[in-house]
Every structure is written in structure tokens, then in C-alpha cells.
């Protein structure tokens, strides 16, 4: 079986985000990393390998040159190979263009199972998995909290707003996983060393047959006109509880008409 | 005026507040055209839906892709000027797939939508709600997933024209099978994303039995119950109540954080609340940096006394 895990290189959530002149997220000039939520998807792929060692796992990303770091990190966790779609024309791509390019790469990689995180930790729109499923005409099983693959069928459990659901589909299929699905493993020293020797290919748009005018800032379907930092919330009053804390809080809630 | 498709959710005729908010926003942009399943609830006309498309299909409610097909078929008939959905996982999936199918552009997590010279202008909060973003769709149909509480729903009664269409799911729609579905029992409390008041508990609660304190406080204030991931991971409270980056994002009038430190991932889901109150025994906890009012103290002392004080004031 072939699994492809789609991963993203994102600004480190601990650092202050920066934006390009075109109001897109600056991923090149700030410290970045493999999106934490993607580690859960990588972990699930590796668990399939643990159970069925003939499974082949490829990590796939679309991103600037630095995004190779995210692939190295995923490879250090495990898996066999990585593909980095990188092209100057991609700068400023929105979710639609990113999904278009990932879909083109997935068509070439022909996986049985596509694994994604529930969302990225930067944009956080959760759009790309569903867009990929639509492009590739794959059944989508999203927001999984449990996943199992057996005899050509994938099953997931998910906690939707109103119900707990079990979904199933025949492979090929696309699954997105949440951070409830099981803690990702930490790369071992051996894993980090081994990752350096694993295949990491770089593909361009021309390799994928995607016309450059369908991606990048010029083709973006969505445009950001303005980004402004919200004024930080000012810390208000804090009282030390000396037995009267609850009374003071009740006073505050009453003046605000909550009681 | 052009049509604005509004995907409406209702349970046996009870239209959810978020759907009424969508209809209210749609009126700013054009003529609201509600799309729903089963029946055409009266509330849709009361909130300005000039047209209601009722999709008849046994199990369309559960799975997004049936809705994608239904909306795409309607759009093929009369292309809308915009499509509005709720920014729930369900609504986002529909928005994402529909955008690919219609060649539209999609914006999620709208906290405001206004008409503009080049189509709807959408306001979003990004990066743990640290930034305000104004965006629009430059190519294709604007498809906008809107967060709850983006607007106060206001009635504008009309007599809607109701049309019914039967959906014959295409092969792609049937490939994801719903094997089982157990609907969660209602707690009787307001829904987390819609509530005006949210009371959340964290690791400081020290055990599942103590969540009764949070529930009692929520009930005393007429609010919903939330939880931090630490409390959810420990199995103290169901995941559907998790507030934060990988839970739900809430924006109530009052958010009360009890025994929660205020990690960035938690803040991502609550820092746009109008008023924030924290109860935490550690005066250095980051939650105090954003709290309008804080009590530095032991929650097991403060919360029971607060409950007494609320009861005393009400008596
Ligand atoms: C990818 C990712 C996604 C995440 N998503 C989320 C998310 O959606 N939501 C979320 O909440 N977290 C999320 N987290 C986890 C987050 O980083 C924190 O670990 C979590 O929010 C901590 O929960 P807490 O505040 O309850 O626990 P802690 O950080 O342990 O804080 C407990 C607090 O309780 C106080 N306390 C203890 N005893 C008492 C007492 N008797 N009286 C008063 N106060 C007391 C302590 O002083 C402390 O401040 C995510 C993390 C990652 C990596």
C-alpha cells in the first residue's frame, strides 16, 4: 500500500507572524517548522507501517525552499521518501492554488491513502483536505479521531458537533486527522541520521504540468486588502483572594450586568 | 438583486441561530435564497429568505458531499452572487469542495461580511486572533464560511417562494459511507459557539468530579460549559467542549476561565470574547494578561463562594 502524507511548513507559532507586501504569510524570513498538527498525520502513517511493513510512505509539501526542513523532520519521524514542490511562481498562492498543485503531485504519486492534518497551524482554514478530495474525486473522511485500514477499506471515527460518527470508504481515499488521534512519536537520533539518506525529490510546476499562471499571487482567488495587529488586550484588575475574592468578582459581574 | 445562497441548518423545523445570522448577513449582500433539507421552516421567511429551496433526500443532513452536489446543481441553474455557510467543520468542507466545483474562491471564519464595490468584504481574525484581516474573493463565486455571533439576527419578514427538488446522489457522493451515527444527548445548556456566556474549566479542576463546579457556575449564569485541552485529554470532559485551536473558537460576551493557564492554543479559541474573567491560583499565569478581571486564588474556595454570592443576590 502507498500512503502520502501532505505536510506544511509553517511559521513557528511561538514567533511573531510577519506578512509579505502582498499580505500573505511570510514563510521565508521567519523561523519555521513542520506544522505541529501534521505530526499527528505522519504518526498515523507510521502506525500503518508498523502494522503492515510493506507500506510505503511519502511526505509531500508545496512551499518555499525552507519547506524542505518540514520534510526532513517528517522523514526523521519515519517514512520512506519525500517530495517537495517548489517553484518561484508559487509565491503568494492561496488555498485553492495550493490544493491544485498538491492534487497534481498526488496524481503522480498515486497513493491508496492520502493523510492530512485537520488544519494548518498558520492559516488554519481546514480547506485543503476537502479541496484535494474534490480535485481527485476521492471519498473524504475528515476530522478523524481514530483510523484503521484493512483489506482495502479505511474506517474512521469522528466527533462531529452533534454526533459521534463512524465512516468508511474503499481505497483510494483521503483522511484528515485531529490531535486526538494519538501522540506523535519524537524523532530518535537514529531517525534523524537515517532521514539524511532518504530520497527527497524537488519537483517544479513544469514537472507536474501545472501552468504557472494558475498559481501564485496573480491567480489567487482570494485577496487580502489589509492586515492589522489587533491591539493587545490590556490586563484589567486582579484581586488576591483573601476570602473576599468571590464577592469582588460578583460585584464586577453585577456592574457588567451578567448577574 | 442577485441571489445569495444560504445553507440553513434546522432540526425538525427549529432553525439554528447561526443560520438566522447568515440570513441577516445575506440581506446586506442581495436576495437571500435559503437552501435546506426536509421542510421549509417559517423562520426562514421571517428572516428574509425570499426563496427557499428544499432538498429532498434521505440522508443529506449527515454528510457534506450531498450538499455540495445540491448547491452545485442549484448554481448551475441560477448562478448565485455569493454562498454563505457556517464555519463549522461541516460548513467548511462544503465550502471547500463547492469552491473547487464552481471555480469559486472561499474565505473562512468571517466575523463580519459587508457589501463592497468588488463583492463582499470579509473580516477575519487570524493568528490566534492577534490580527484583523480584510479580504475578498477576486475570482469566481465568493463562498464564505461565517463564524457564529458575527451579527445579531434581525427579522425582516417576507413570503418566500418555496421550491422542492429531489437529490439523486451521484456516485461520488455515495463513496463515503456513514456506518453509524449516535447523536449526542442535549445537555439543556446553550451551545458553546452560540452562548453569550461560557464558563470553562482546566487542569486546575484536578478531576472529572469537580467539573460539577463549572456546570453549576455555567447554570447560575445561563452559560455554556467549555474546557481546556488538558482537561479534555485527561478525560474529564467531552472533547466537543474543548475551546481553542483544535477545539471550538468562541466569542461570547463573557468568558470565565477557571484553573486554565492561558496557553496560546487556548487563547486562539477565546481571546476575542468581549469580557474575560480568570480564576487561577498562580498570579503569573498568562491568562491574567488578557483578563479584564482576575481573582488570584484557589478555585475550590472562590467558585463555591461565588455560587453562594450569586444565589444571595438573586434571592
Ligand atoms: C497542536 C496543539 C493544539 C492545541 N490545542 C489546544 C486547544 O484547542 N485548546 C486548549 O485548551 N489547549 C490546546 N493545546 C494545549 C495547550 O498548549 C495547553 O497545554 C493547555 O491549554 C493547558 O490546559 P490548562 O490551562 O487546563 O492546563 P495547565 O496549563 O496545566 O494550567 C492549569 C492552571 O490551573 C491553575 N490551577 C491549578 N490548581 C488550581 C486551583 N486549585 N485553583 C486555581 N487555579 C489552579 C494553575 O495555576 C495553572 O495555571 C494545544 C497544544 C498543541 C501543541
User: Ligand 1, atom 51: nearest CA belongs to which residue?
Assistant: B265
Whether residue B225 has a cis bond before it, omega within 30° of 0: no
Could you tell me which of A196, A193, A155 has the C-alpha nearest to residue A48?
A155
Identify all chain A residues contacting B172, using CB atoms and an 8 Å cutoff: 137, 139
Residue in A closest to B110 by C-alpha: A125
**Number of structural domains found in chain A:** 1
pLDDT, average across residues B289-306: 97
Residue B263 assigned as binding residue: yes
Is B35 in CB contact (< 8 Å) with chain A? no
> Which among A131, A161, A222 has CB closest to B137?
A222
Q: How far is B229 from chain A (nearest CA, A)?
A: 10
Nearest ligand 1 atom to the CA of B287 is 49
Q: Are residues B205 and B170 in the same domain?
A: no
- A20: containing domain: 2-208
Of A243-257, B123-137, B216-230, the one with minimum mean pLDDT is B123-137
The verdict on residue B227 lying in a domain is yes
For A63-94, what is each residue's pLDDT tens digit? Answer: 999 999 999 999 999 999 999 999 999 999 99
For B57-83, what is each residue's pLDDT tens digit? Answer: 876 766 788 899 999 999 999 999 999
For B108-124, what is each residue's pLDDT tens digit? Answer: 999 999 999 999 999 99
The verdict on residue A139 lying in a domain is yes
Instruction: Inspect the interface and report whether the beta carbons of B62 and A165 lie closer than 8 Å.
Output: yes
User: Ligand 1, atom 14: nearest CA belongs to which residue?
Assistant: B265
Read off the CATH number of the domain in which A169 is found.
3.40.50.620
- B210: containing domain: 197-314
For B167-179, what is each residue's pLDDT tens digit? Answer: 888 887 788 888 9
Going A163 to B88 to B57 to B6, the CA torsion angle's sign is positive
Residue A218: per-residue pLDDT: 93
Per-residue pLDDT of chain A (259 residues; tens, 9 = 90+): 999 999 999 999 888 888 888 888 888 888 999 999 999 999 999 999 999 999 999 999 999 999 999 999 999 999 999 999 999 999 999 999 999 999 999 999 999 999 999 999 998 899 999 999 999 999 999 999 999 999 899 999 998 878 899 999 999 999 999 999 999 999 999 999 999 999 999 999 999 999 999 999 999 999 999 999 988 888 899 999 999 999 999 999 999 999 9
Identify all chain A residues contacting B310, using CB atoms and an 8 Å cutoff: 250, 253, 259
Q: What is the ipTM of this complex?
A: 0.94
> Which among B136, B229, B288 has CB closest to A235?
B288
- Strand pairing report for A140-150 and A9-11: unpaired
In chain B, pLDDT over 70 holds for what percent of residues? 99
* Residues flanking ligand 1, CB < 6 Å: A 36-37, 179; B 202-204, 228-231, 242-247, 259-261, 263, 265-266, 269, 279-282, 285, 298-300
Is B107 in CB contact (< 8 Å) with chain A? yes
Identify all chain A residues contacting B96, using CB atoms and an 8 Å cutoff: 95, 126-131, 134
Mean pLDDT of chain B: 94
The verdict on residue A249 lying in a domain is no
Start-end of H helices in B85-210 = 89-102, 171-174
Residue B62: per-residue pLDDT: 63
**Number of structural domains found in chain B:** 2
Q: Are residues B88 and B11 in the same domain?
A: yes
The verdict on residue A251 lying in a domain is no
Tell me the pLDDT band of B12, cut-offs 50, 70 and 90. confident
Give the separation between CA A158 and CA A143, rounded to whole angstroms: 6
Q: How far is A198 from chain B (nearest CA, A)?
A: 32
CB contacts < 8 A, A to B, total 251
Q: B232 C-alpha to center of ligand 1: Å?
A: 10
> Which among A134, A165, A246 has CB closest to B305?
A246
Q: Are residues B143 and B89 in the same domain?
A: yes
Q: Are residues B163 and B223 in the same domain?
A: no
Residue in A closest to B241 by C-alpha: A161
Are B312 and B305 in contact by the 8 Å Cβ rule? The answer is no
Of A250-259, B22-31, B106-115, B183-192, the one with minimum mean pLDDT is B183-192
pTM assigned to the model: 0.94
pLDDT, average across residues B154-182: 90
Contacts of A232 (CB under 8 A, 6+ apart): B290
Tell me the pLDDT band of B157, cut-offs 50, 70 and 90. very high
Read off the CATH number of the domain in which B253 is found.
3.40.50.1220
Is B17 in CB contact (< 8 Å) with chain A? no
Give the separation between CA B90 and CA A155, rounded to whole angstroms: 18
Q: Are residues B8 and B88 in the same domain?
A: yes
Residue B51 assigned as binding residue: no
The verdict on residue B187 lying in a domain is no
Give the separation between CA A143 and CA A163, rounded to whole angstroms: 13
Instruction: Inspect the interface and report whether the beta carbons of B296 and A169 lie closer than 8 Å.
Output: no
pLDDT, average across residues B285-313: 97
For B254-263, what is each residue's pLDDT tens digit? Answer: 999 999 999 9
The verdict on residue A106 lying in a domain is yes
Contacts of A259 (CB under 8 A, 6+ apart): A250, A253, B220, B221, B310, B313, B314
Q: Are residues B154 and B207 in the same domain?
A: no
Instruction: Inspect the interface and report whether the beta carbons of A222 and B253 lie closer than 8 Å.
Output: no
Residue B246 assigned as binding residue: yes
Instruction: Inspect the interface and report whether the beta carbons of A250 and B271 lie closer than 8 Å.
Output: no
Q: Are residues B17 and B145 in the same domain?
A: yes
Instruction: Inspect the interface and report whether the beta carbons of A246 and B309 lie closer than 8 Å.
Output: yes
Residue B279 assigned as binding residue: no
Read off the CATH number of the domain in which B37 is found.
3.40.50.620
Residue B4 assigned as binding residue: no
Instruction: Inspect the interface and report whether the beta carbons of B100 and A235 lie closer than 8 Å.
Output: no
Amino acid at each position: 500500500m502507498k500512503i502520502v502524507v501532505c505536510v506544511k511548513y509553517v511559521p513557528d507559532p511561538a514567533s511573531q507572524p510577519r506578512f509579505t507586501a502582498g499580505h500573505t504569510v511570510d514563510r521565508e524570513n521567519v523561523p519555521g517548522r513542520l506544522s505541529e498538527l501534521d505530526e499527528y498525520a505522519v504518526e498515523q502513517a507510521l502506525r500503518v507501517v508498523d502494522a503492515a511493513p510493506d507500506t510505503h510512505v511519502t511526505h509531500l509539501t508545496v512551499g518555499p525552499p525552507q519547506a524542505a526542513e518540514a520534510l526532513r523532520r517528517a522523514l526523521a519521524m519515519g517514512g520512506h521518501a519525500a517530495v517537495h514542490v517548489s517553484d518561484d511562481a508559487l509565491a503568494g498562492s492561496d488555498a485553492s492554488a495550493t490544493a491544485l498543485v498538491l492534487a497534481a503531485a498526488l496524481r503522480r504519486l498515486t497513493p491508496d491513502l492520502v493523510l492530512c492534518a485537520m488544519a494548518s497551524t498558520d492559516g488554519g482554514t481546514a480547506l485543503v483536505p476537502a479541496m484535494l478530495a474534490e480535485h481527485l474525486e476521492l471519498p473524504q473522511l475528515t476530522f478523524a479521531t481514530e483510523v484503521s485500514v484493512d483489506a482495502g477499506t479505511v474506517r474512521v471515527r469522528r466527533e462531529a458537533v452533534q454526533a459521534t460518527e463512524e465512516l468508511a470508504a474503499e481505497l483510494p481515499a483521503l483522511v484528515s486527522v485531529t490531535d486526538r488521534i494519538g501522540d506523535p512519536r519524537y524523532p530518535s537520533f537514529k531517525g534523524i541520521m537515517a532521514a539524511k539518506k532518504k530520497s527527497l525529490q524537488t519537483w517544479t510546476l513544469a514537472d507536474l504540468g501545472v501552468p504557472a499562471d494558475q498559481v501564485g499571487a496573480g491567480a489567487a482567488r482570494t485577496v487580502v486588502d489589509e492586515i492589522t495587529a489587533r491591539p493587545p488586550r490590556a490586563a484589567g484588575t486582579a484581586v488576591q483572594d483573601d476570602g473576599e475574592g468571590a464577592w469582588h468578582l460578583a460585584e464586577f459581574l453585577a456592574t457588567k450586568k451578567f448577574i | 438583486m442577485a441571489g445569495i445562497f444560504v445553507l440553513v441548518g434546522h432540526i425538525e423545523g427549529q432553525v439554528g441561530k447561526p443560520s438566522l445570522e447568515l440570513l441577516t448577513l445575506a440581506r446586506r449582500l442581495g436576495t437571500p435564497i435559503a437552501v435546506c433539507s426536509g421542510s421549509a421552516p417559517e423562520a426562514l421567511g421571517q428572516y428574509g429568505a425570499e426563496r427557499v429551496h428544499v432538498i429532498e433526500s434521505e440522508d443529506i443532513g449527515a454528510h457534506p458531499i450531498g450538499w455540495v452536489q445540491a448547491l452545485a446543481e442549484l448554481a448551475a441553474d441560477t448562478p448565485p452572487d455569493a454562498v454563505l455557510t457556517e464555519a463549522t467543520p461541516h460548513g467548511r468542507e462544503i465550502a471547500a469542495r463547492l469552491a473547487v466545483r464552481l471555480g469559486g474562491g472561499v474565505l473562512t471564519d468571517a466575523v463580519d461580511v459587508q457589501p463592497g464595490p468588488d463583492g463582499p468584504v470579509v473580516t477575519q481574525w487570524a493568528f490566534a486572533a492577534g490580527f484583523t484581516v480584510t479580504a475578498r474573493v477576486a475570482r469566481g463565486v465568493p463562498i464564505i464560511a461565517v463564524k457564529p455571533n458575527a451579527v445579531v439576527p434581525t427579522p425582516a419578514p417576507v413570503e418566500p417562494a418555496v421550491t422542492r427538488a429531489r437529490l439523486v446522489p451521484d456516485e461520488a457522493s455515495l463513496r463515503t459511507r456513514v456506518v453509524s451515527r449516535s447523536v449526542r444527548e442535549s445537555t439543556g445548556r446553550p451551545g458553546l459557539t452560540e452562548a453569550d456566556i461560557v464558563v470553562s474549566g482546566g487542569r486546575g479542576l484536578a478531576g472529572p468530579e469537580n467539573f460539577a463546579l463549572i456546570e453549576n457556575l455555567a447554570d447560575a449564569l445561563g452559560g455554556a460549559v467549555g474546557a481546556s485541552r488538558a482537561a479534555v485529554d485527561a478525560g474529564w470532559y467531552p472533547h466537543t467542549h474543548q475551546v481553542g485551536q483544535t477545539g471550538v473558537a468562541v466569542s461570547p460576551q463573557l468568558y470565565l476561565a477557571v484553573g486554565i493557564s492561558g496557553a496560546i492554543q487556548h487563547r486562539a479559541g477565546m481571546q476575542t470574547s468581549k469580557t474575560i474573567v480568570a480564576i487561577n491560583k498562580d498570579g503569573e499565569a498568562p491568562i491574567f494578561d488578557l483578563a479584564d478581571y482576575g481573582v488570584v486564588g484557589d478555585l475550590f474556595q472562590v467558585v463555591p463562594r461565588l455560587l453562594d454570592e450569586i444565589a444571595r443576590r438573586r434571592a
